[in-house]
Chains A and B, each alone.
Chain A
């Protein structure tokens, strides 16, 4: 098991060209026409062979590991799971998370009074999700954040709260994966 040093074959390239480049041209035509007819057939039978996706009308299927924008998990009663411990704020390399904690008389005493994420700064790195000890902030599959102003990119708690049902796939992935260690 070791690496061998080999020399690349320039002679082979010369042979590919052939007399006056005619074989090379014919070979090129074969490649492009194969692609053309395959794509044409795919289009006729309704199974396109091209990778083009008509965003935003349609989207590529996303893998389970996909990291979109971070959102807050809302429990069934509509409250956030977050206890405002601030770990995500610490972990965030670009300081895009801002939390103001507060206390209540509920069973879980602490909650975030303010929980803002500046989506204009966020780089979807997922360190907040990894740091969170409560499964309260997760990377959703959402990626579309466009807004008309910079202020519109500052997402507040009510915008970030996402029902737990829609995040099941991601939560399952986290449990499968981070839980394994």
Chain B
């Protein structure tokens, strides 16, 4: 258990986390529109065989995103 905010991109498959903050204003608006709000729970559902993109379960759906975008999401691992 760590209480440091880390980028979503470093999480492993099956990891659960809470979104702490979103960096990068341009991407963050789009991420929020897709349901990635601070305070939301997420789980890393799958990492593509070549390590990128990743799929996360957020709310009641699966969202695929590239590592470039995942870096902007700071999470706290649970």
Question: Is B a genuine binding partner of A?
Answer: no
Query: B-contacting residues of A (Cβ < 8 Å)?
Result: none
Query: A-contacting residues of B (Cβ < 8 Å)?
Result: none
